[in-house]
Amino acid sequence: MEAIVAEAVKDGQVPKTPDEAVFQVLPKTKFLSNVGLQSVAPKRNAKSAARIQELELELQAEKQGALDLRGTLDEQQVELHALKLLVAHSEDAMKQQKDQSEEKMKEQADEIASLKKGQEETNALLRRLLSLSIRLNLESRWYCYIFWCCDCLLGVAMWLYHFAFVGRSLAHDDL
């Protein structure tokens, strides 16, 4: 057994302990385990120890890389959730704006209908006045001309208002 310990020192390996030498001489006997000596794992040489340490460092680096990737993934999931909430909020705002635009368009259509009705009533009244003036034998062209001008001016004013109003309405349709 002393020779085994000395032999390891000559080869440049780590010297073997007395327990290792005993296990090498008596590897299969139960005597050693009965007396309480445990089997000792053989010592590794410097090359294999360095390789094991290198692999352990590589494994540690991979574990750290996996943790970093998990953190990045978690951050991206939080950002994705925030973006989804922003999109939902934007869609709600767009729907609300669309509803308001439709409501305004309906109000404008009602106002246009009211103005057309008023214009028709005014035209009817002017026609009655003209026909009344003819019946009363108002021969003066001056009165007829005034009524005719009023009718034309009222029509032009209504046309301009309608044009401006429809122009605004078309601008809202672009939204």
CB atoms within 10 A of CB 160: 10
What is the per-residue DSSP string for 32-49?
HHHTTPPPPPPPPPHHHH
- Tokens matching residue 63: 């574990």
pLDDT at 42 over 60: no
Q: Predicted confidence band at 48 (pLDDT cuts at 50, 70, 90)?
A: confident
pLDDT at 40 over 50: no
CB atoms within 10 A of CB 167: 9
pLDDT at 23 over 70: no
Longest dimension (CA), the chain: 154
pLDDT at 60 over 90: yes
The least confident of 15-19, 100-104, 108-112, 139-143 is: 139-143
